[in-house]
Amino acid sequence: MTTATAQAFPNIAFIKYWGNRSDRLRLPANGSISMNLAGLYTQTCVSFEPGLAADALVLNHVPSLGRSLHRVISFLNVVRRMAGKKDFARVTSENNFPTGAGIASSAAAYAALAVAASHALGLDLSECELSRLARLGSGSAARSVPGGFVEWQKGEADADSYAYSIATPEHWALVDLIAIVANEHKPVGSSEGHRLAGTSPLQAARVAGAEQRLEIGRNAILARDFAALAEVAELDSNLMHAVMMTSSPPLFYWQPASLALMKIVPQWRKGGLPVFYTLDAGPNVHLICEASSAEILKSHLDEIPGVISTIQAGPGGPAHLVPDCTLI
Ligand code: DP6
């Protein structure tokens, strides 16, 4: 039996990934930039066992079948092929944050699975190889492999579509205050959404401007220029949601409280509070602020009707092995 356990953090994108050039290889339409989220994590234990008749998956203590299991099996097949091994695996995975409501749990899940499964099969992969591998499980997982502030270059092909750190977690004390406005599972997941992106007449324009937004976002992070990052990240989030809403069929992820926050956050910023919003494929609103403003922002959020709770996270490190199979 060969076993390994890994932890990985989810991430929040400031410049978004939406739409693929190849759905099978998850080669994105454009590059993206994100920050890993410390304190929230997925921990995954993988053991390849000669006696097993099939792969088995337990997610948050519940045996998993259907689509989630098949996605994991396809991913394990890739790792087995790379290692030249045939044994089936038992995969046990837990999140310490709510699944499926705007915090990209698949990012942390496939980053942790890539690290644990490859290590268990004796592969000694570099960070870049791990990021490419994680990408095959979930695009945004490529960005949860390196630490801190991360850019995923779209690349020309499989070999050069991977993510790397552009700054360490210590570089900038930003905080993601996630306003939870709905707890239920989103009706249309990201994988389905990526397939619909090309049906929007706005996707081509969004992709055409992505290089410029990436450069502005990257420079803003490197210079710790909050105002510049705020402007480009809100624009990029709005562009992605415009594509979602004009796809066929259209995807509407917002709740009334999501829109209320999108309207009030720029006003708070004008009033001197350094904060901006960004939303993924879900209704919850990620409010990014400097750590020194987190407390006051939290008290503002407590006043907004429809905000059920908040989750707070600073910049997180890379996906990493942990000593044993003890779960959370
Ligand atoms: C809206 O990585 O979840 O969060 O590759 O199908 O797993 P799959 O999609 P996923 O897409 C993330 C989309 C997003 C934006 C982003 O994180 O860049």
Average pLDDT, the chain: 95
Q: Is the CB of 281 under 6 A from ligand 1?
A: yes
For residue 218, pLDDT over 70 is answered with yes
Could you tell me the maximum CA-CA distance found in the chain, to the nearest angstrom?
63
- Percent of the chain at pLDDT exceeding 90: 91
Summarised one tens digit per residue, pLDDT across range 129-179 is: 999 999 999 999 999 999 999 999 999 999 999 999 999 999 999 999 999
| Ligand 1 midpoint to CA 52 (Å) | 32
At residue 219's C-alpha, the angle toward residues 221 and 36, to 5°, is 30
Predicted structure pTM score: 0.96
Return the ligand 1 atom nearest residue 26 CA: 5
In 3-state terms, what secondary structure has residue 44?
strand
Instruction: Give the residue, by CA position, lying nearest to ligand 1 atom 4.
Output: 280
Instruction: For residue 167, give the amino acid letter.
Output: A
- Which CATH number does 1-328 carry? 3.30.230.10
Return the ligand 1 atom nearest residue 191 CA: 6
Summarised one tens digit per residue, pLDDT across range 242-252 is: 999 999 999 99
CA distance 293 to 28: 34
